[in-house]
Structure formats: structure tokens, C-alpha cells
Amino acid sequence: MKFQPTTQEEVSTYRQELYRTFVAPLDGMWEALYVASATPFLITLEDTSIGYCCIDEDKNINQLYLMPVHRFLINKVVEELIKEAMIQGALLSSIEPVAFNVCLAKTNTISANTFNFHYASPQKGENKKQLDLIKARMDDHSAIKSFFLNEAGFDDNFGYAENLIKRGEIFLLIEDGILTATGECRLSDTQPAYADVGMIVKQDARKRGWGGKVLATLAGIAERQGRIPICSTTVDNIASQKAIQKAGFYQSHIVFKMEF
């Protein structure tokens, strides 16, 4: 059995097959940042490709897929990756039970890393009312990048905001002439039924309910485009979790950090 470094494009067909096995949608931010930055490997047996895996710089396996006819080898694949010191742990979601459970059985310690949410319905009260969000234009690019850095510590040096503006997927909340929040409604390219929503609220405007209202409005935008809204947040971001649930989302699955 061999593990050959390759490109994301080379494993795209396998990845499409993997996504069909999911019992819930994959979070778009996880896909775009974590999985996309991990190194993909083709898994071969006697010079025949049988699947792929993705491993990040911290030697965590992020994705693992074997063709159905070769799936009986999945335990051996994980054992070989550990034996060759290619992985020390895993960052996997409970949406894909096969690889998840194989890695879980080899885990010494496990902890929740990211909570993932699925939209249920609009809630009663304030969050049911839609805000007047403005679709960002390219003229807003610099202001959005500064907002990301100042309010969330996110240094967008790879064109993230620019891409969202071009796709029409980032929105602004302006209050009294001040940029109070940004909201994203990212239409998934790999999971066409879903849209990932997210928001950042200006630090001195937090604890006023803006987060939940922005998310509820974004959920409405997604639904009007025929998409099911999903979102996520880290385990330690309690404020974000409260806003997400207030906006009508429920926790559907978790990304776990496992250490072998």
C-alpha cells in the first residue's frame, strides 16, 4: 500500500463520492480552509488507485475515502498511516461514520473542535424580522478587509473577501453610517442544496442581539435562493453559539479532534 502526494483536482472524483456518504452537509468554512489547505494523497494498492486521504500540516487526517470494493481495507489504511508516521491524529466529523469510527477506535484522547448547525425555522420575536443588509460592492473591499482584521483578527491576504464580493455573497449592516456587521451567504459549489451563512459583529456593538438578527436575515436570503442554510462555530465561542441558536439553527454534528 502506497500514499502518493497529489492535487486537490486529482482526488475530486473520489471526494464527490465521499460527500454522497455524508449523513449531514459538510461545513463550507471547514471545506474551504481546513480541507483545501491539507495535502491530498492517492492511496494505491499494487499500482491501482483505491481512494484518497487528506492530511494537514499537524499530521491530522481530515478526509479518508476508499472505493466500496476496497472499504474492507480502511482499518489497515489508518494503521499504515500511523506506522509510517504520516498521521498523529484526526480532525473528522461525525457526518462520515466509516472513517470516523475507524479513527475513533484508535484514539487515546478526543475533544470537540467545531459545532455545526442546520437551519430549522425562523424563531418568534425580533430575529424573525429581516434586517436591511446591503450587498457589498468592490468599492467596499478595503473596508471589509480592515473590518475582518480589526474585529475578528482575520488577515485576508488571499482574496477571500474579493471572491465573495464577486460572487455576491457578502453583505453589510450599516448603522448610523458605521459598518456594524458583515454577513456571508456562501452558496456551496460541491453541495448544491446548501448555503453556508456566517457573520462578524463589530466588537463594541456586541451583546446587543445583532449576531442572531444578521444570521436570521442571511438564512432568509439562502432560502429565497432555494438553499438550506447551515453554519458553524468553534467550541469555545459561546456568544456565537447563542446567536446561531437564537436565529433558528440546531446543532446537527461535531468535528472532533482525535489524538492517536
Fold of 2-107: Aminopeptidase (3.40.630)
By C-alpha distance, which of 35, 27, 46 is closest to 11?
A: 35
Q: At what angle do helices 160-167 and 141-152 cross, to 10 degrees?
A: 130
Assign 134 to helix, strand or coil.
strand
Amino acid at 216: A
Give pLDDT tens digits for 88-110. 999 999 899 899 999 999 999 99
Q: Is 88 left (phi over 0), alpha (psi -120 to 50) or beta?
A: alpha
Q: Where in the chain is the domain with CATH 3.40.630.30?
A: 117-254
Give pLDDT tens digits for 79-91. 999 999 999 999 9
Q: Is 248 left (phi over 0), alpha (psi -120 to 50) or beta?
A: left
**In this structure, CATH architecture of domain 117-254:** 3-Layer(aba) Sandwich (3.40)
Q: Where in the chain is the domain with CATH 3.40.630.80?
A: 2-107
Q: Are 91 and 113 in contact (CB under 8 A)?
A: yes
Q: Which of the 8 DSSP states describes residue 65?
A: E
Least confident of 1-5, 28-32, 55-59: 28-32
Give pLDDT tens digits for 181-201. 999 999 999 999 999 999 999
Assign 95 to helix, strand or coil.
coil
Q: Which residue has the cell 475513533?
A: 104
By C-alpha distance, which of 235, 9, 243, 211 is closest to 116?
A: 235
Does the pLDDT at position 220 exceed 60? yes
Strand pairing class (194-201; 228-234) = parallel
For residue 121, what pLDDT is reported?
A: 72
